[in-house]
Amino acid sequence: MAKDLKELFARKVIPVSFERTINLFGATTIGVGALMGAGVYVLIGLAAGKAGPSVWLSYVACGALAFVTTLMFAELARRVPRSGGGYTYAYETLGSFGGFATGWFLALGSIFACGLYAIGFAEYFSSLLGYDLHKVGVRALAIGFVLFSTWINARGTSGTEKFQGLLTWGNLGVLLVFVLFAAFHARPELLKPHFPNGLAGTFSTIGIIYISFFGYQLIANNADEIIDPKRTVPRAMILSMGIALTAYLLIALVSVMAVPWQELAKSSTPLVEVAILSFGPAGWLLISVGGVLASAGALNSTLLSQARQIYAMGKNRFFPALLGEVHQAYKTPFAALFAGGLLVVLFLMLFPLEFIAKAANFCLLVSLLPVSLALRRLYREQSRSNGEPV
């Protein structure tokens, strides 16, 4: 019995079987794509309703908190430079039980998050086309894009990188145009009073927007395919967070300076209100394109990364062994990709949007606890590292 328990919590090492083709730019693209999802297009209105013109400060405070967890993951990535992200950190540090629990929460959280991004993509795409697809049509379009993205990912890392780059940097390009034109319509007087709901309103907003700062962790899931992961993964995480935080800050600031915060709070599409002021009737087109790119980029990044985690768990027999194999020709976790993609499709068919969103948040937040414990254990075993800074 004692021997079995010792084995259950013993440290583990996962073998490597991928080709390393992703550089710092590619790794950062994965992180930015996951971070800069469609949330910024929607949540800023809710945030402005609570914080008022000080919503930019809410993003700064939230970003500071998220940066702490970024540094935690970056340190773990430096010490455990292997695919699987939080699952691998827990598995190799806390043993089988810690890895099993962490892996399941992360896998479910990623699958639910993909469902959320897929619905966001379908909603923005139908708006862009000018058609009301209703609930069934939106779900069908979401499922179609999940299957398409899964196929792109399964065909090889090179094609996935190009596709992800198009989505990620296209979205950032749209947001850059938005910020530049909105800045010309900025009215500093709209920043007063700066704290209409007090500091409590400003900082209570963190609970709404924190989900916007999830995504950098996905970079670590691809560590076995990243060149020099011990250095590249931590730097890509920090770069991704820095880019996302800067973008969020600028978007929040120009939005509340261009349109009164009360109007933003009433709108379900707050950036459209600002874009119409800046571009006229064509403003909705700009934001619709951005929403499509953002949602698609977040979905593709998450599908790419969750498959590497499912693969790692398959290698350790927490999932069927088939999921722990790499396709000989494409050098991708082919079975893990399609298993994850089909689960996303199943969840889209079974669950309502609100449940999908809440489940994604819950699973991802719970998974942070064992990852924190893993870092604590690594620090206690300082003698195993060189003491190099991230």
pLDDT by position in tens, the chain (length 390): 455 445 544 555 455 467 788 899 999 999 999 888 877 887 888 888 888 899 999 999 988 988 888 888 888 888 888 878 888 888 888 888 888 888 889 889 889 889 888 988 888 888 788 777 778 888 999 999 999 999 999 888 888 889 999 999 999 999 999 999 888 888 989 988 888 888 888 888 887 787 788 888 888 888 888 999 889 999 999 999 999 999 999 999 999 999 998 988 888 778 888 888 888 888 888 888 998 999 999 999 999 888 888 988 888 888 888 888 888 888 888 899 999 999 999 999 998 877 887 788 788 888 878 878 877 787 776 545 555 544
Alpha helices in the chain, H assignment, sequence order:
2-8, 24-35, 39-51, 55-79, 86-94, 96-129, 134-154, 157-183, 198-204, 206-209, 229-258, 261-266, 270-279, 283-315, 334-350, 353-366, 368-380
The DSSP call for residue 226 is B
pTM: 0.84
Give Cβ neighbours of residue 345 (< 8 Å, ≥ 6 apart).
143, 146, 147
For residue 342, what pLDDT is reported?
94
Q: How far apart (Å, rounded) are the C-alpha atoms in residues 61 and 43?
A: 16
Q: How far apart (Å, rounded) are the C-alpha atoms in residues 139 and 271?
A: 24
3-state secondary structure 10-55: CCCCCCCCCCCCECHHHHHHHHHHHHCCCHHHHHHHHHHHHHHHHH
Q: How far does Cα 305 stand from its chain's mean position?
A: 10
Query: Which of 103, 148, 117 is closest to 35 using CA atoms?
Result: 117
Residue 187, classed as helix, strand or coil, is coil
Q: How far apart (Å, rounded) are the C-alpha atoms in residues 307 and 154?
A: 10
The DSSP call for residue 186 is -
Q: How far apart (Å, rounded) are the C-alpha atoms in residues 333 and 71?
A: 28
188 preceded by a cis bond (ω within 30 of 0): no
User: Does a structural domain hold residue 1?
Assistant: no
CATH, residue 81:
1.20.1740.10
User: Does a structural domain hold residue 2?
Assistant: no
| DSSP per-residue string spanning 111-154 | HHHHHHHHHHHHHHHHHHHT---HHHHHHHHHHHHHHHHHHHHH
Total domains present in the chain: 1
Range of the domain at 235: 20-382
For residue 257, what pLDDT is reported?
93
List the beta bridge partners of residue 226. 22
Query: Which of 319, 298, 297 is closest to 308 using CA atoms?
Result: 319
Q: Looking at this protein, which amino acid is placed at residue 74? A: A
Residue with tokens 């609930």: 135
User: Does a structural domain hold residue 8?
Assistant: no
> Residue 179: is it exposed, middle or buried by C-beta count within 10 angstroms (0-12/13-18/19+)?
middle
End-to-end CA distance of the chain: 40
User: Does a structural domain hold residue 235?
Assistant: yes
For residue 356, what pLDDT is reported?
84
CA dist list (Å): 81 to 53, 145, 166: 42, 31, 27
User: Does a structural domain hold residue 322?
Assistant: yes
For residue 168, what pLDDT is reported?
93
User: Does a structural domain hold residue 9?
Assistant: no
Q: How far apart (Å, rounded) are the C-alpha atoms in residues 108 and 49?
A: 31
Check: CB of residue 341 under 8 Å from CB of residue 147: yes
User: Does a structural domain hold residue 13?
Assistant: no
The Cβ of residue 353 has, within 10 Å, a number of other Cβ atoms equal to 16
Six-digit token pair at 326?
A: 């790499």
* CA angle at 50 for the pair 49 and 56, rounded to the nearest 5°: 90
Check: CB of residue 196 under 8 Å from CB of residue 58: no
User: Does a structural domain hold residue 204?
Assistant: yes
Check: CB of residue 91 under 8 Å from CB of residue 280: no
Query: Which of 34, 52, 83 is closest to 225 using CA atoms?
Result: 83
